[in-house]
Amino acid sequence: MFFNRKQYYTLSQQQFDEMKQFYEKLGFRKNQVQKLCKKCFSADIRVEKSLTYSNNWTFYRRSDMDDGNFFSGRSAMSSGMPMASGMPGAMRMAMRSAPVAEEVEDGLPAPVEMAEPVPTEPPQPLNTAETHNVPENESHSPLDNAQVIFSANVNTASWNYLRNRIHNHSLLDPSFVRMEEIINSYEYDLPKPDDGQLFGITAESGKCPWNEDHELLFLGFKGKKADKDCRQNLVLLVDVSGSMEDEWILTQMSIAAIISKLKEGDTLSIISYSDKTTTVAKQLDCGNMDKLVNAVMDIEGTGGCTYGSEGLENAYRYLQETFDENANNRIFIFTDGDFNFGVTSEGGLEELIYDKRKTGIYLSIVGYGQNNFKDNKMETLARNGNGNYTFVANPADILDELWTKLVSNLVTVAKDVKISVELNPALVSEYRLLGYDDRKLTQQEFHNTEKAVDGMGSEHNVAALIELKRGKAEQKYKGHFVNVSAGDNQDEIAFVEVHYKSPEGENLVMTKSVTLQELQQAKNCNMPAAALLASFGLMVKKSAYKGDMTKNRLLDMASALMKEKGIETPERFSHLDIIRKYAVND
């Protein structure tokens, strides 16, 4: 620890109350809530009376010093806190020593008075965040390119990142917008698969809000419910390097959300890493929640560089040694993706993780950070490592993703899900797939059973939207030897083919013909929400395909959906709440 000084975080009373309520909602007992609220990893938690509430759940660590308070230089920059000039390394605040927090009767920290910092101009945080900037899918004539082929995507990181930026009135970077993740962040009302099927396919259609001459085709895929509860054999891999110091409170809350779902018979191990790897706990029986909470308390935040590749290697090696053929063997990695030691490049990480997926071990990534997180590296790990990836910036993200949807993410019912949609050139003159820009597949990859892609979890939804223009297709780019005419089928507008594997590895195929009659008879209960999310995504992405969409039209669509669903006031951090905030913000 830094100079062996006592480390602590300061929270406002309202934030502390939210933390306490969070752990109570997860079902922890009173003594467990007390432990989790008194300490975060190796640092104490103190409640400051004078601190005003902030929506930002990124906290910096302080240390008791004789002549002031000390915290890491990176934390000061990222939190925008004022720093006094003349201090060594610009790393001290001109503050008196903080009083030691006392405990109230229930064993929780009591609020304390803190000295006010000397007013100075806060430094602006450096933005070192990284992401992919993939070109958007283009429009095609079915006679030039009859099939759109892509892999399923169950990630929601892009949506969570955007909603927190909008909620905090921060600048938006269009390159962080992945349309399919925004569309898939919503819980659609999809029917259960037929008996004997691993998942079902639903089709709906409706008007395109941003182009009145076009229509939208909605395709929903729902995984079946797992036949039985699968035993969990998990390794939690925790980044405790210096770049994660501000995020350790959220990290601890995320870990707590996961362990609250585990039960007797499940096993849990914890490994932390910075410039070296430390095994914190081995094969704990999850029937004893007190032991799990104590193990979380034993995680020590150390600072230092991020040897992420070594941490992953060790986690995979350990889980292979303790592999349980009758369990879900999965690694959860909690990180900002700032791998600055060992294998650090996207290509190197892709090669490292792609080999690991052959072990039968799944990977779940929980990302953190505002101005420093490496979205590109985390998305690469998830896409190539039998994985899924979400982003966390406040307790709502944890409850929405890690806690509420945890079970569906843990138990895989269909592996390597690859989807092909072929449009009928007799009925569709042109089309464009929204999103999945980085998940397109070739015909060879689609039919190659060795090509590994994402799977679907128990009762998990995957949705896709295709913008299309009705009419007879023309071949725009005629080849010398090719002369194609439109098909004769005047009712089948699309043919859907899905290649996937059962959990046991059996190669399977599911097909569905989407007819005009089916679309006319569909209730279209999912189309309004999907169209709204797609319109929002095109706007925040500043897409060249956003057509006539405006913020006022977004508001009108949101109001119409609220009326349809009987919603008077959108819930905080919900889709409607965030879209309305974006639309009214200049």
Q: Are residues 201 and 247 in the same domain?
A: no
Q: Is the pLDDT of residue 488 over 80?
A: no
Q: Is the pLDDT of residue 154 over 60?
A: yes
- What is the count of structural domains for the chain? 3
Q: What is the average per-residue pLDDT within 408-423?
A: 86
Q: Are residues 431 and 390 in the same domain?
A: no
Strand partners, 62: 8
At 253, the pLDDT band (50, 70, 90 cuts) reads very high
- Residue at which a domain ends, from 504, 522, 540: 522
Q: What is the average per-residue pLDDT within 422-427?
A: 94
What stretches of 53-188 show up as alpha helix (H) in DSSP?
A: 73-79, 157-167, 179-183
Instruction: Determine the 3-state secondary structure of 407 from DSSP.
Output: helix
Q: Are residues 481 and 466 in the same domain?
A: yes
Q: What is the average per-residue pLDDT within 371-380?
A: 78
> Residue 64's CB: how many other CB atoms inside 10 A?
17
Q: Are residues 204 and 289 in the same domain?
A: no
Please, what is the end-to-end C-alpha distance for the chain in angstroms?
Answer: 45
Q: Three-state SS across 284-348?
A: EECCCHHHHHHHHHCCCCCCCCCCHHHHHHHHHHHHHHCCCCCEEEEEEEEECCCCCCCCCCHHH
Q: Are residues 265 and 332 in the same domain?
A: yes
Q: Are residues 400 and 428 in the same domain?
A: no
Q: Are residues 395 and 440 in the same domain?
A: no
Q: Are residues 513 and 430 in the same domain?
A: yes
- Residue at which a domain ends, from 93, 108, 136: 93
At 2, the pLDDT band (50, 70, 90 cuts) reads very low
At 482, the pLDDT band (50, 70, 90 cuts) reads low
Q: Tell me how far apart the alpha carbons of residues 450 and 179 are, in angstroms, rounded to a whole number.
A: 27
Copy the structure tokens of residue 307: 């040897």
Strand partners, 278: 272
pLDDT at 347: 66
List, edge to edge, every strand of the sheet that includes 387-391. 277-285, 267-273, 231-239, 327-335, 362-367, 387-391
153 Cβ contact list (under 8 Å, min separation 6): 178, 180, 181, 184, 435, 436, 439, 454, 462
Q: What is the average per-residue pLDDT within 32-48?
A: 92
Q: Are residues 316 and 404 in the same domain?
A: yes
Q: Are residues 56 and 44 in the same domain?
A: yes
Phi-psi group of 437: left, alpha or beta (phi > 0 → left; psi -120 to 50 → alpha; rest → beta): alpha
Q: Is the pLDDT of residue 85 over 50?
A: no
- Print the domain residue range for 398: 231-410
Q: Is the pLDDT of residue 241 over 90?
A: no
- Residue at which a domain ends, from 386, 410, 434: 410
Q: Is the pLDDT of residue 486 over 60?
A: no
Strand partners, 418: 151, 499
Instruction: Determine the 3-state secondary structure of 252 from DSSP.
Output: helix
Structural domain contains residue 388: yes
pLDDT at 558: 96
Q: Are residues 353 and 434 in the same domain?
A: no
Work out the percent of the chain whose per-residue pLDDT is above 70.
Answer: 83
Q: Are residues 286 and 179 in the same domain?
A: no
